[in-house]
Amino acid sequence: MNQRTRLLSLVTDFCQERGSRTFTLQELNQTYQSFQCINIGGKTPQATVRRLLQELRNNKSLSFLEQRGAYSLRNIEILDNEVEDSCLDLISKTPNLEKKEYIVEVYARNRGWVKQAKEVLGCDCLYPQCKNRFLKEDNTPYIEVHHIIPLYQGGDDGIWNLSVVCAHHHKMAHYANAKTRLLIESLLLKETECRI
């Protein structure tokens, strides 16, 4: 069995164990730090794994989701205990265009907290006096869940650090100037604390 086949087997087992076909390179590295279990050693095992992941993408065993910085397993219809993955629709609609790969670290968040945030905080934007609202195709309100203090800045992945905001205010919370971002952070922390 060659290295690419062994890596695909390892990735499949990894996804089966987690019940999710989407994973990041960081998650794979955390679980299989040295990759000795598939006989990838030498001075640059990480570079070899990245090359093998690219080969698995080329033969359509994996997809790379640029928007999420994640890989998704394509060679299995259904995983054991698979949970619904928001990437599945994106994968099926991804055209076979020329692809570029970027290695991006992303912070995985607990989907249970997202659900609880919507249940506890509601479906209206917490930004004061915001009326931005629309219904999705299934007639449920569209709302986004936002980490008030981002995970990469040490924020917690918990209800006390989550808010529900419209898409406009979500983008502002991430991309507005520093003064506006701090104002939004303060408003959302206060509003979330009042509601929980």
CB 87 within 8 A of CB 68: yes
CA 183 to CA 173: how far, in whole Å?
9
What percent of the chain shows pLDDT beyond 90? 26
Q: Is the per-residue pLDDT at 30 higher than 60?
A: yes
Q: Where is mean pLDDT largest: 18-22, 64-68, 87-91?
A: 18-22
Question: What is the structure's pLDDT at 182?
Answer: 94
Q: Is the per-residue pLDDT at 49 higher than 80?
A: yes
Q: Which residue has the higher pLDDT, 96 or 69?
A: 69
pTM for this model (two decimals): 0.47
**What confidence tens digit (pLDDT) does each residue in 83-140 have?**
555 554 544 455 554 555 555 555 556 667 888 888 999 999 999 999 998 999 999 9
Q: Is the per-residue pLDDT at 183 higher than 80?
A: yes
pLDDT band at 38 (very low <50, low <70, confident <90, very high): low
Residues 6+ apart with CB under 8 A from 17: none
Question: What is the structure's pLDDT at 154?
Answer: 78
Q: Is the per-residue pLDDT at 10 higher than 80?
A: yes
**Residue range 5-11: mean pLDDT, rounded:** 86
Rg (CA), the chain: 20
Domain residue ranges in the chain: 3-93, 111-195
Question: Count of residues for the chain?
Answer: 196
CB 7 within 8 A of CB 49: yes
CB 125 within 8 A of CB 166: yes
Collapse the DSSP code of 62 into the 3-class scheme (helix H, G, I; strand E, B; otherwise coil) and give the result: strand
Collapse the DSSP code of 141 into the 3-class scheme (helix H, G, I; strand E, B; otherwise coil) and give the result: strand
Q: Is the per-residue pLDDT at 15 higher than 70?
A: yes
Question: What is the structure's pLDDT at 18?
Answer: 80
CATH number (1.10.10, 1.10.155, 1.10.20, 3.30.230) of 3-93 reads: 1.10.10
**Residue range 153-175: mean pLDDT, rounded:** 89
CA 110 to CA 93: how far, in whole Å?
25
Q: Is the per-residue pLDDT at 193 higher than 80?
A: yes
Question: What is the structure's pLDDT at 107?
Answer: 55
